[in-house]
Structure 1
């Protein structure tokens, strides 16, 4: 395979990120190219910042019964996201494009979405895209096979990307495990701390902020601002407990297969926060587990993972 220029599109809860990549045939690793652009959903006139997702229990029930009933607000919000993606694609002509998206999906679109609208027919609108990739898988791939990743040369490791939700990922015995296809391994939003909270709701930045705002009747919008509140230590302790529970869950899986985890990587917004904030917070995460921990603060890894997936 010769060196090649490809493009990755990372679709998140608030924006679409486009990143070009250069694939090296000798190392089979991808490096960031010169093109980088972000498209905010909020720039669309029909974007609803107060959108409330359908309860996850309802989504799961409709998914299991193969009878998904979209709400009007889902259809409208989904149209905004689709049109934003199309704008990004239109401005990325003459590239091979890999696109990743969160949620449970089939070959046609998004069927379960914890933090946004379901878009079951998304693929029908994206003629230039061969398949919709899993965002968690692309995050891991970008950390593992890009020159800016924190999981390079790791055979057994776990990735925890904290943003609007949690991007779960694992490298097992030198292969990427696709959690959506793996039975018996729970994702962060499926691991309950108590009847009201999951690992995702306590560990993701959005979950921390939402819980704090509900409990204190505030309107905080960033983890940095939240960390300045007097009672932030309570939020942090809850996050550390969720982090510990998630890592213990993964350790049990690896141990059951006769393997040991070499490294844990925290990325996305949670990784950025830990890298940019008081070093004490980073140290608390490191001391919570006995496995070596790396912090990734480069948000381009998921897009690079999507680009690599389409190039190989």
Structure 2
């Protein structure tokens, strides 16, 4: 089947859907991005609601345990999301000349019990029948499915899968690693003892980034993601996000402003860098010594983390920075404004740690070698395609 069907990985984000052809290298048992790619912005699709506001999360969470009642606006926006994905898949089929497809899809939000819909989402509509509607729309477009959509996956989990199975993935050659991807949100992924470990499966002893509170009392995601960096700068600069977007001022540009001495940009990265360093330090400590209450939680009712776990004593061979946050770490200005100070602060936290024993501090002494930047810009899409391939 893999020789005939077009393998597609979908990264469904908050503003657009990105579809990639995924190619399997049978000799090396690895995957690479193919030449075909299609991106569809939701606002391109007729019926898009530009000022759409998600239902309050408390309401979503309550309805998830009973019966979900999408609003009329959610239903309209959901139809737009489905259509954008269908058009992206159709475009790939046309580019490659293949009418039979095998699809893997990563989407943000908590999934329905069937794993084929979205039950809770912070930045979009709930879509309880997403996969069903997408499959029907693809049939209308003359596209055959080599297999039904197995499930909707997590973009964070797919980043880990991508790093583990891609030819240039940084998980491939190590046994223990942590991945932090930054874009609109934050993706956490981990590999322990040579196996991928989802954060859902580690939730009793390690928290996701978005669950923890920054020094400013907000979700760490809001100061460590790329969109969070832009939002932080907007606050210091007295501008709106709309104004920054219109002027095309994004984190890469903000790092340039910081390098040139602009106060708002400098203050932005003081906040960002401190929280990034503390986050990476928490990962190191929690893996090796268990949870030490280094952060509070956004949800005060979140069950307490278990301070003991079966992986204690381990160290990460690599800490990987990926997606647009990785681009920032690798950028000429970003290396000076972000990477260098983050690693300096992280080194100081480790070497002065009251929790880590001497041999562990020694392991992390050359922190520049431990922290690496992922080259897999499209890790979520690649991981989604790999997941569909393995689930077929």
What TM-score do you get using the length of structure 2 for normalisation?
A: 0.72
Whether the 8 Å contact between 1:272 and 1:298 is mirrored in structure 2 is no
- The residue that corresponds to 2:162 in the other structure is 142
Structure holding more strand per residue = 1
Distance in 2 (alpha carbons) for counterparts of 1:273 and 1:254: 26
Structure 1 counterpart of 2:51: 50
User: Aligned equivalents of 1:137 and 1:35: distance in 2?
Assistant: 23
Q: Does the 8 A contact of 2:116 with 2:150 survive in 1?
A: no
Q: Is residue 2:127 matched to residue 1:126?
A: no
- Is contact 1:109–1:121 with CA below 8 Å preserved after alignment? yes
Which residue is equivalent to 2:198?
Answer: 178
CA distance in 2, matches of 1:86, 1:50: 23
CA displacement, residues 132-170 of structure 1 (integer Å, 9 cap, x when unaligned): 121111111112210232333121111111111101111
Aligned residues between the structures? 311
Counterpart of 1:271 in structure 2 is 326
Q: 2:164 touches 2:171 (CA, 8 Å); kept in 1?
A: yes
User: Match for 2:343 among 286, 293, 305?
Assistant: 286
Q: Any conservation in 1 of the 2:105–2:152 contact (CA below 8 Å)?
A: yes
Provide the C-alpha distance between the structure 2 equivalents of 1:268 and 1:14, rounded to a whole number of angstroms: 16
SS in 2 for 1:220: helix
SS of residue in 2 equivalent to 1:97: strand
Structure showing greater relative contact order (alpha-carbon pairs closer than 8 Å, 6 or more residues apart): 1
Runs of 4+ in structure 1 deviating by more than 6 angstroms, as ranges, are 1-4
Counterpart of 1:220 in structure 2 is 244
Q: Distance in 2 between matches of 1:3 and 1:30?
A: 14
Q: Deviations over 1:20-75 (max 9, x none)?
A: 12222333211222212212212113323433333434433433x33434344333
Q: Unmatched 5+ residue regions in structure 1?
A: none
How large is the RMSD of aligned CA atoms in angstroms? 2.4
SS at match of 1:231: helix
Select the structure of larger CA radius of gyration. 2
- 1:159 corresponding residue in structure 2: 179
Q: Distance in 2 between matches of 1:15 and 1:3?
A: 29
**Are the equivalent residues in 2 in contact too, given 1:115–1:165 (CA < 8 A)?**
no
Structure 2 unaligned spans of 5+ = 94-98, 136-144, 291-310, 347-363
Q: Distance in 1 between matches of 2:77 and 2:254?
A: 28
Moved more, 14-23 or 291-300: 291-300
Tell me: CA distance 1:2–1:45, structure 2 relative to 1, closer, same or farther (3 Å).
closer
* CA–CA distance in structure 1, aligned partners of residues 3 and 213 of structure 2: 45
Per-residue deviation at 1:223?
Answer: 1.7
Q: Cα–Cα, structure 1 residues 276 and 72, in superposed 2: closer, same or farther, change >3 Å?
A: farther
Deviates more, 1:276-285 or 1:54-63: 54-63
Aligned to 2:21, the other structure's residue is in SS state strand
Residue number in structure 1 paired with 2:274: 241
**8 Å CA contact retained: 2:168, 2:375:** no
